[in-house]
Structure 1
Amino acid sequence: MSIQTLEPRMADVGGIPIARLLPNTGKKPIGAWCFLDHAGPADFGEDELGMQVGRHPHTNLQTFSWMLNGEVLHKDSLGNEQVITKNQVNVMTAGTGLSQGISHTEQSVFPDTGGSSDAARAISMVQLWIALPTDQEIERGFHHYPELPTWTEDSVEMILTTGSYTNVSGQHFEAPTIQYSKLVGIDVYFTEDGEVTLTLEPSFEYGILVSEGEIESEGKVCKQDQLFRFHDSDVANNESIKLVAKKAHV
């Protein structure tokens, strides 16, 4: 088996373009990651409201929101209100069982509508859903993570959004993000054309979403809003994978 390149299904959600990579026809979830959307990138005029997602419910999963550009206000049925800004994560846990569940709204905010003074009139956000293990009794809740482990490898800026990770230099990083299944998530931003080697966890399934630019790995090219999907055993050296990029964001 080799690396697969998945194409997005395009949709409009809350008034903005969405590239949906998971679920994908004939493809299973990637570990506990069962849903993946890239919202935007989109720019908004002075008279536009931006993304406006009305109240909707979730059960037996977590929503994992990673902001690349712009700002979004989260409100939920537990009474939480939180603006998420660039390089921050929101995790909403719906809980497991018939007595749990949560509903929420998501709305773009700008300097004049509750955002920060320098909030962009734009959005680029990755949102994933994580399937919760149903053999655990998990309470609903909401967590906001304004600070995450950050480091640089040559011209590549890295942020660990969830899980633990040891890079090729032996540096170890732990994200504070709440988990109920073992997962890892890394934001990789190439500030210029270059390459980086990512270490792999044995027996893990992986997905690499390109939100900007394009990357090449194992002889294949992945462009914006496409997804590389693979198992650690699908790469030549199953302990790591090398990405060669043209000023990309993955």
Structure 2
Amino acid sequence: MSTPQSTGTVEILEGAPVALGGPRGMEVVRTLPNKHRRMVGAWCFLDAYGPHDVTTGPGMRVGPHPHIGLQTVTWLLQGEVLHRDSLGSLQDIRPGQLTIMTAGSGISHSEETPAEHSPTLQGVQLWVALPESDRHMPPAFAHHADLPVVTEGGMTATVLMGTLAGATSPAVCHTPLLGAEITLAAQTRTTVPVRPEHEYAVLALDGTATVADTEVKPGPLLYLGTGRSALTLTTGDPAKLLLLGGEPFDEKVVMWWNFVARDHEEVAAARAAWEATADGAGEGEFGEVEGYDGVRIPAPPMPITRLVPRGRVR
């Protein structure tokens, strides 16, 4: 990942290509955590993928794997993803529907393109770090097929999490957060209200727009910092953006593999618990994902050096 380019309080965070689920997996672009900035609010992970042609290949295929200390947030623009987890959840996710899995003390899940599917897959996968007060809570799963929508002029905003322009999502947040998909018609200029005490970032999902006098296009994440009461959005051609924000997350965390923890020992214990669970045995703190036609993902070796808790800025 490259060093952020700064213009005042604006940073361009370049993404890194990653193979999802292993070397032969579907390619995604990861912009969080970044080399210099690890989080935006409690948003600690952001993968964007597609549009991918899934007519000839397997599409998304991520075998059972564990999580602790976070929420996974799935948002699709095109296509379908089939979610299974150790709570027994079986959910076909489609565009415009929000899926949140709260790992808490421990959960495992799988994600795959279903047998019957659209020809194109595109979406984002995000994680939210849970605060100390909630990170050991029992795991949970929620699917929201209907979300509030804000329209003004050429803008349509779907509120995934938190509140935007008086519209509040039904999704449960454990810290003050905002997530919204903003669609802009051609030749649109609009202003979106935001909270000065929160930090924000924008990812272009489709097309190019200008946000706070800075061009944003698919690929990098535009970090906008705190101290703003509004964001001005303009576009020539139609565009679609993902707006993320939240109260700066002051707790130091250890992010390693699929875990958001607080120290090296906690990560090592979670890894050992996953590796001790025989495939399909349904034992241990992460449970069993039933029905996935494939093997679970083994944990990588622990690093040689000790994992150190870090703040939101490296």
Do both proteins adopt the same fold according to a TM-score greater than 0.5, normalized to the shorter chain?
yes
Whether 1:184 and 2:184 are equivalent positions in the alignment is no
**Which residue of 1 is the match for residue 4 of structure 2?**
none
**Which residue of 2 is the match for residue 154 of structure 1?**
153
- Alignment counterpart, residue 37 of structure 1, candidates 47, 50, 54: 47
List aligned pairs for 1:24-103, cutoff 5 A: 24-45=34-55, 47-95=56-104, 100-103=105-108
* Partner Cα separation in structure 2 for residue 142 and residue 65 of structure 1: 12
Q: 1:174 to 1:218 in 2, by over 3 A?
A: closer
Cα offset for 1:192?
Answer: 2.3
Question: Is contact 2:50–2:121 with CA below 8 Å preserved after alignment?
Answer: yes
**Which residue of 2 is the match for residue 249 of structure 1?**
240
- Segment of structure 1 superposing worse, 69-78 or 221-230: 221-230
* Partner Cα separation in structure 2 for residue 161 and residue 30 of structure 1: 16
Question: Is contact 1:203–1:231 with CA below 8 Å preserved after alignment?
Answer: no
List aligned pairs for 1:1-250, cutoff 5 A: 1-14=8-21, 15-45=25-55, 47-95=56-104, 100-109=105-114, 113=115, 115=116, 119-136=117-134, 137-166=136-165, 172-233=166-227, 238-245=228-235, 246-250=237-241
Q: Which has the higher strand share?
A: 1
SS, match of residue 211 in structure 1: strand
Question: Is contact 1:16–1:40 with CA below 8 Å preserved after alignment?
Answer: no
- Segment of structure 1 superposing worse, 204-213 or 129-138: 129-138
* Partner Cα separation in structure 2 for residue 2 and residue 78 of structure 1: 43
TM-score by length of structure 2 reads 0.70
- Segment of structure 1 superposing worse, 221-230 or 65-74: 221-230
Cα offset for 1:134?
Answer: 1.6
Question: Is contact 2:150–2:167 with CA below 8 Å preserved after alignment?
Answer: no
* Partner Cα separation in structure 2 for residue 135 and residue 122 of structure 1: 40
SS, match of residue 18 in structure 2: strand
Question: Is contact 2:50–2:123 with CA below 8 Å preserved after alignment?
Answer: yes
TM-score by length of structure 1 reads 0.87
* Partner Cα separation in structure 2 for residue 219 and residue 173 of structure 1: 26
* Partner Cα separation in structure 2 for residue 86 and residue 219 of structure 1: 30
Cα offset for 1:151?
Answer: 3.0
Question: Is contact 1:205–1:230 with CA below 8 Å preserved after alignment?
Answer: yes
* Partner Cα separation in structure 1 for residue 102 and residue 203 of structure 2: 23
Question: Is contact 1:52–1:108 with CA below 8 Å preserved after alignment?
Answer: yes
Question: Percent identity among equivalent residues?
Answer: 34
* Partner Cα separation in structure 1 for residue 190 and residue 102 of structure 2: 33
Q: Runs (4+) of structure 1 moved beyond 6 Å?
A: none
| Aligned length, in residue pairs | 229
SS, match of residue 184 in structure 1: strand
Question: Is contact 2:159–2:168 with CA below 8 Å preserved after alignment?
Answer: yes
**Larger Rg: 1 or 2?**
2
Gaps of 5+ in 1: 167-171
* Partner Cα separation in structure 1 for residue 36 and residue 95 of structure 2: 33
* Partner Cα separation in structure 2 for residue 165 and residue 157 of structure 1: 12
* Partner Cα separation in structure 2 for residue 222 and residue 200 of structure 1: 18
- Segment of structure 1 superposing worse, 221-230 or 30-39: 221-230
Cα offset for 1:191?
Answer: 3.2
1:182-216 deviation digits (Å, cap 9, x = unpaired):
10111001232322211111210111011111111
